[in-house]
């Protein structure tokens, strides 16, 4: 789908005419028409910034659709934002439960390292972008298996400080359930998966895998 087709689709979904979009954004009706027909191939970021709030679409999304931002860059930005929310939710709860918490640095595995007495708990947060394609169930299963196989492999050869518990945390309920289908077979380690609701700021559930 071209950007012009995308813009036309979004505009119609919002029940906004070309004239209304032009009047509210300050972009000329002729320019909007040129964009939608494909006559205007290189859209100015200023135009995208002007129409974004009228269409109620994030400016970054329009920049991505117009080819200014790569899909990978957008994913990485979403991932960083999601990780910060996760850290802000989990850390206070661990501290309230008397764990000493730090961000994982250097040789550690995961995002968080929590210590209490002789126990060392590593928590690895994994961001999964929601897919809209028809094959998403297959793709999700494949993505999960790839990530947990690499994670279990790293744990199997981890030779730094002793880990007594390892948790894979996610904010996607479907992924949370898929992870439970693939528990490690040979790791002598307490492993769980955790479901986080980033919007409500809560830990929803945790399931032990081993």
- Does this chain's domain 3-65 share its CATH topology with 72-208? no
For residue range 123-177, what is the model confidence (pLDDT) as tens digits?
Answer: 999 998 765 544 455 678 888 998 999 999 999 988 887 899 999 999 999 999 9
- pLDDT beyond 70 at 117: yes
Angle, in degrees to the nearest 10, between helices 45-55 and 29-37: 100
The residue extents of the domains of the chain are 3-65, 72-208
- The CATH number given to 3-65 is 1.10.260.40
Strand partners, 168: 124, 193
Q: Which of 135, 117, 132, 126 is nearest to 169 (CA)?
A: 126
Convert the pLDDT of each residue in 22-32 to its tens digit. Answer: 999 999 999 99
Cβ atoms of residues 111 and 124 within 8 Å: yes
At residue 134, the pLDDT reads 46
pLDDT digits (tens, 9 = 90+) for 83-101: 999 999 999 999 999 999 9
Rama region for 42: left / alpha / beta (φ>0; ψ in -120 to 50; rest): beta
Percent of the chain with pLDDT over 90: 62
Average pLDDT, rounded, for the chain:
89
Please tell me the class of the 72-208 domain: alpha beta
Pairing of strands 190-197, 202-208: antiparallel
pLDDT at residue 198 greater than cutoff 50? yes
Helices (DSSP H) in the chain: which residue ranges?
3-13, 18-25, 29-37, 45-55, 59-65, 71-96, 136-156, 173-179
Q: How much is the pLDDT for 137?
A: 54
**Lowest-pLDDT range of 42-51, 100-109, 200-209:** 100-109
Residue corresponding to tokens 């790839």: 146
What does pTM read for this prediction? 0.66
Give the pLDDT of residue 119: 94
Nearest residue to 32 (alpha-carbon basis) of 67, 61, 3:
3
Q: Pick from 94, 112, 92, 93: which is nearest to 102 by CA?
A: 112
Would you state the pLDDT for residue 136?
Answer: 52
């Amino acid at each position: 789908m071209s950007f012009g087709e995308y813009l036309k689709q979004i505009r119609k979904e919002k029940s906004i005419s070309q004239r209304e979009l032009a009047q509210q954004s300050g972009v000329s009706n002729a320019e909007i028409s040129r964009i939608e027909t494909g006559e205007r191939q290189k859209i100015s970021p200023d135009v995208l910034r002007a129409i974004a709030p009228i269409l109620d679409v994030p400016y970054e999304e329009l920049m991505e659709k117009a080819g200014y931002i790569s899909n990978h860059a957008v994913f990485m930005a979403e991932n960083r934002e999601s990780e910060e929310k996760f850290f802000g939710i989990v850390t206070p709860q661990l501290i309230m439960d008397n764990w000493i918490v730090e961000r994982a640095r250097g040789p550690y595995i995961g995002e968080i390292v929590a210590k209490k007495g002789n126990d060392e708990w590593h928590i690895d947060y994994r961001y999964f972008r929601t897919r809209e394609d028809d094959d998403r169930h297959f793709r999700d299963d494949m993505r999960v298996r790839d990530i947990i196989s690499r994670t279990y492999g790293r744990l199997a050869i981890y030779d730094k400080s002793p880990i007594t518990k390892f948790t894979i945390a996610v904010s996607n309920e479907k992924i949370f359930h898929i992870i439970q289908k693939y528990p490690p077979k040979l790791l002598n380690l307490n492993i769980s998966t955790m479901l986080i609701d980033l919007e409500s700021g809560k830990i929803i559930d945790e399931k032990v895998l081993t």
